Copies of this chain bind each other. A is one copy, B any other.
Amino acid sequence: LNRGFSNGVLVSGVAGFIGANLTRELLSQGRYVVGVDNFSRGTKENLSWTESYGDQFVLLTGDVSDSENLGSLLDIAGIAQKSLLEVIHLAANSDIAAGVSDPRIDLKDTLLTTFSLLEFCKRSGIRRFSFASSSAVYGDHGETRINETTAPLFPTSNYGAMKLASEAIISAACESFLDVGYIFRFPNVVGTPATHGVIFDLVNKLKSNPGPLEVLGDGAQQKSYLHVSDLVDAILYIKSVETAGRVVFNIGPVDEGLTVREIAEIVIQVVSPSREICFTGGDRGWLGDIPRFFYSVDKLSSIGWVPVMGSRESVRRAAVEVAGQLCCA
């Protein structure tokens, strides 16, 4: 069995929040997608709508932190490795706090997945690799607007560290066997199907607890928020414009973001108006959190892309979407 396509894209973490959204767009553009997920956080329900695409979408269940395992999964599914043109690597641990207490989580789920997917590319002759990196690679730069040449890169969490480590081995692979390595550094991304993140947590708390909304930290932490629809659009835009070498872009809104207090207020307004807020205190929500974060997307603007929504609109829309997702689950 050879499924007979030649422009296939392998998407790791396909059943996660970003994976499901990106795959929807890839399929609608006529791409063949082979998705793989270990379903540690992603769910098959996130991909239920793919049924209408028939053979254009293949779902593999398994872990990509072992490249031989991935080869076996493809063999069993009857997919020739030469039918794959590129890899889009989204699989990662997304629980930052968990990775601080046990660094092996980020090592395995974030770095070793990248490592083994690169091994897989080298062995299979796949020369295009896209990676979901993060603003967390930068660490804490205070009031500085962070752009792609900001340094030193001192991540404050193992999550950020293993994202940076992944970037590093992709860079080395670009010297050796890749034609292009895309590194997309994005901040907090919001929307549905949510599996984690501040909006997901706040909506959950409001739904499960009748008292005041408990918010981690002092509410002053300020960050940028991007809606997943804008993120997917930016990724595909960059891939269409830049086609060789090491391609690194910050992706985010053009504004300076919202405070956690503002987010809590928006979520309350949408889900449960008149609820009060109580803050746990401290300038960080958790160990490894960054209190303030100013993100420059000038490089992305310079190639002609701007998001449809700003941070406030993204958060408001996501709050409505997440509330809908959780009420019907």
- Residue numbers of A with Cβ under 8 A of B are 100, 103, 107, 111, 115, 118-119, 137, 139, 148-158, 160-162, 164-165, 167-169, 171-172, 174-176, 246, 248, 287-288
Contact present for B100 and A176 (CB under 8 Å): yes
In angstroms, Cα B158 to Cα A196, docked, is: 33
In the complex, what's the smallest C-beta–C-beta distance from A35 to chain B, in angstroms? Answer: 25
In angstroms, Cα B119 to Cα A248, docked, is: 31
Given A158-B169, A162-B168: A176 and B111 within 8 A (CB)?
no
Given A148-B151, A176-B287, A288-B175: A164 and B165 within 8 A (CB)?
yes
* Extra pairs beyond A111-B111, A148-B151, A176-B288 (8, CB < 8 Å): A151-B153, A152-B246, A154-B246, A156-B171, A158-B169, A162-B165, A168-B168, A175-B288
**3 tightest A-B contacts by CB?**
A165-B165, A151-B151, A161-B168
In angstroms, Cα B155 to Cα A137, docked, is: 15
A-B contact list, 16 entries, CB within 8 Å: A103-B169, A111-B165, A139-B171, A151-B153, A152-B248, A153-B168, A156-B171, A157-B172, A161-B169, A162-B165, A164-B164, A164-B168, A165-B165, A165-B168, A168-B168, A175-B288
